[in-house]
């Protein structure tokens, strides 16, 4: 009976989301609308879409488990999340205006425009897809914990993994069908459940913990200290995690595309203001729950299970609600990832290879379906990797943050060149990868900095050196000046620039 309640709760939630999508469905008229939802959503939708992508289901598992195992160091995630929201505020105007004026669909699309380079566009797309795709696989796997607990002992861990993969794979039918519009609408429902209902559950559990002898005095002193000089991790370790989190945050393809789906710059800025307190309350409360619940029996041996172990005090009903929160957050994150990566594959790899501007939404749908199948196969093939997911988060951020110099300097500085962008991204990802292999956690001889931070230093240095050694030619400098002055789309000369050259080819039927 308990399993019926647990799985029944998930089924009801699943059907509610699908019902809302079917009720509000609108077929995309072309690839741009499929990729950006027609740039039509207001601030509340934009806020919840950002949260439902930024805070994956593994927040309840790996991040909460990290807090339970290591203590206050876990609050670094709250700091970098809030700083990323600040960056969202400043990115709003240039990204939205360039996106609308030049019909940009993806982050790589924007970089292709800024640097007038197919190579920059393709390299950025490959890095974004490569860093993000493992999250889709392990997002599917993280659902195994949900279905394991909600079976209340009736299913084995392997069966739970299979059920989770099937459920999330089935959910992607609607992601492929409705594109970004469907993702945004479902994000509103899933976000309310995951972060608002989730916050209520967290606060209730914290109240129970503090009133039942699970206070800070039950924890060892090591849970309240950060790595310093002479420590195994090194004094720069926490700073490195925070820095790669902030800089890498808006390099994720699924996060960046959120800037293209809003209906204006003011909407994006309002979304940043609205998201900040929601992020602060939810993330801080969840990390605090993980820290305090470390003294609950069973958590020490399985810290990744802290969310469900603690929810167990409320019986079947509370465990079911806790599971629905994880499913809601996971569905939002995986759906957004697959949609963004599918769009980027079609637009910036297939489109670039064929030298055409993709206009048919069916190509985007096919790309999403193919990536969903690949992710499902990957999840089946790696079913044993269902714990310690926080390590993946660290590694992924080391990789994705290598887009930051090219992206941020390109948006806020006019002098950067395509050659500099290529040199920076290639040197950064190569050095970060090599160092990650030899120093998977931190680099002792660099004060505890992570591989990603050293990669960023090399990346940024290469960007500046190449920019000044091989400065822009006069024609390119004039093009960039027009782009930054927001007069580019009205200048006849721009018709030879990316992506207008491709658009012209399409219009000529070539």
Q: Where are the domains of the chain?
A: 2-471
How many residues are present in the chain? 510
More confident site: 509 or 112 = 112
Q: Residue 449's beta-bridge partner residues?
A: 443
Comparing CA positions, the residue from 228, 47, 256, 225 lying closest to residue 132 is 256
Q: What is the pLDDT of residues 150-201, one digit of tens each?
A: 988 888 777 887 888 788 878 888 887 888 888 899 999 999 999 999 999 9
pLDDT average, residue stretch 44-65: 91
Average pLDDT of span 222-229: 88
pLDDT at residue 502 greater than cutoff 50: no
Indicate if the pLDDT at residue 393 is higher than 80. no
Mean pLDDT of 299-306: 91
Chain segment 265-282, per-residue pLDDT in tens: 999 999 999 999 999 999
**Side-chain-side CA neighbours of residue 258 (13 Å):** 38
Task: Give pLDDT, residue 432.
Answer: 93
In this prediction, residue 510 carries a pLDDT of 32
Mean pLDDT value across residues 405-413: 95
pLDDT of residue 128 exceeding 50, the answer is yes
Q: Residue 150 class from Cβ within 10 Å (0-12 exposed, 13-18 middle, 19+ buried)? A: buried
Q: Mean pLDDT throughout 48-62?
A: 90
Contact 378, 433 (CB under 8 A): no
Q: Per mean pLDDT, which range of 26-30, 267-271, 287-291 is the poorest? A: 26-30
User: Which of 91-95, 258-262, 418-422 holds the top average pLDDT?
Assistant: 418-422
Q: What is the distance between the alpha carbons of residues 357 and 346, in angstroms, rounded to a whole number?
A: 10
Bigger pLDDT: 309 or 386?
309
E-only strand ranges, 209-254: none
**Assessment of whether the complete model's pTM goes beyond 0.75:** yes
- Report percent pLDDT > 90 for the chain: 53
pLDDT average, residue stretch 236-253: 91
Say if CB 127 and CB 405 are below 8 A apart. Answer: no
pLDDT in tens, 418-452: 999 999 999 999 999 999 989 988 999 999 999 99
**CATH number, domain 2-471, options 1.10.510.10, 1.20.1730.10, 3.20.10.10, 1.20.120.80:** 1.20.1730.10
Comparison of pLDDT for 406 and 350, the residue scoring more: 406
DSSP bridge partners of 41: 262
* CA dihedral of residues 411, 415, 419, 425 (deg, nearest 10): -40
* pLDDT given at position 45: 92
More confident position, 348 or 24: 348
Sorting pLDDT into bands at 50, 70 and 90, what band is 355?
Answer: confident
Residues 132-150 pLDDT 10s: 887 887 777 778 788 888 9
What sign does the dihedral 45-49-51-52 (CA atoms) show?
A: positive
* Averaged pLDDT of the chain: 87
Q: What pLDDT was estimated at residue 14? A: 92
User: pLDDT at residue 390 above 70?
Assistant: no
* pLDDT above 70 (res 117): yes
Res 312: pLDDT:
93
Angle subtended by helix axes 118-150 and 315-344, to nearest 10 = 160
Residues in CB range of 444: below 8 A, 6 or more apart? 234
């Amino acid at each position: 009976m308990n399993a019926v309640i647990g799985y029944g709760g998930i089924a009801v939630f699943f059907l509610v989301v699908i019902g809302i999508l079917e009720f509000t469905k609108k077929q995309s008229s072309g690839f741009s609308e499929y990729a950006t939802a027609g740039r039509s959503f207001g601030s509340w939708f934009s806020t919840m879409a950002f949260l439902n992508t930024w805070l994956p289901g593994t927040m309840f598992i790996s991040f909460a488990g990290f807090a339970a195992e290591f203590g206050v160091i876990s609050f670094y995630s709250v700091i970098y999340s809030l700083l990323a929201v600040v960056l969202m505020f400043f990115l709003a105007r240039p990204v939205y205006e360039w996106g609308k004026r030049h019909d940009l669909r993806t982050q790589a699309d924007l970089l292709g425009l800024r640097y007038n380079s197919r190579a920059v566009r393709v390299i950025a797309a490959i890095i974004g897809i490569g860093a993000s795709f493992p999250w889709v696989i392990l997002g599917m796997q993280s659902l195994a914990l949900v279905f394991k607990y909600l079976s209340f002992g009736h299913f084995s861990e392997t069966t739970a993994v299979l059920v989770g993969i099937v459920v999330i794979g089935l959910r992607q039918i609607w992601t492929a069908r409705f594109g970004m519009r469907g993702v945004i609408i479902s994000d509103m429902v899933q976000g309310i459940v995951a972060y608002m209902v989730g916050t209520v559950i967290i606060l209730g559990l914290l109240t129970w913990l503090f009133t039942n002898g699970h206070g800070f005095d039950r924890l060892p002193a090591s849970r309240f200290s950060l790595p310093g000089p002479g420590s195994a991790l090194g004094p720069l370790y926490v700073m490195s995690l925070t820095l790669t989190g902030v800089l890498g945050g808006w390099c994720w393809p699924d996060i960046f595309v959120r800037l293209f789906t809003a209906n204006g710059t003011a909407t994006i800025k309002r979304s940043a203001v609205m998201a900040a307190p929601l992020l602060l309350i939810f993330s801080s409360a969840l990390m605090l729950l993980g820290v305090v619940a470390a003294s609950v029996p069973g958590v020490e041996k399985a810290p990744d299970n802290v969310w469900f172990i603690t929810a167990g005090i409320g019986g079947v009903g509370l465990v079911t609600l806790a599971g629905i929160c994880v499913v809601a957050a996971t569905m939002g994150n995986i759906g957004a990832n697959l949609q963004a990566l599918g769009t980027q594959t079609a637009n910036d790899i297939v489109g670039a290879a064929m030298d055409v501007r993709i206009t048919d939404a069916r190509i985007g749908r096919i790309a999403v379906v193919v990536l969903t199948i690949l992710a499902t196969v990957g999840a089946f093939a790696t079913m044993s990797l269902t714990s310690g997911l926080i390590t993946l988060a660290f590694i992924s951020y080391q990789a994705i943050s290598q887009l930051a110099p090219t992206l941020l300097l390109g948006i806020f500085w006019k002098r950067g060149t395509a050659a500099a962008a290529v040199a920076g991204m290639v040197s950064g990802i190569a050095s970060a990868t090599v160092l990650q292999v030899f120093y998977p956690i931190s680099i002792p001889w660099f004060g505890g900095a992570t591989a990603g931070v050293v990669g960023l230093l090399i990346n940024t240095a290469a960007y500046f050196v190449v920019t000044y050694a091989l400065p822009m030619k006069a024609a390119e400098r004039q093009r960039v000046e027009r782009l930054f002055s927001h007069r580019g789309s009205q200048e006849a000369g721009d018709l030879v620039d990316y992506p207008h050259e491709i658009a012209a080819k399409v219009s000529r039927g070539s």
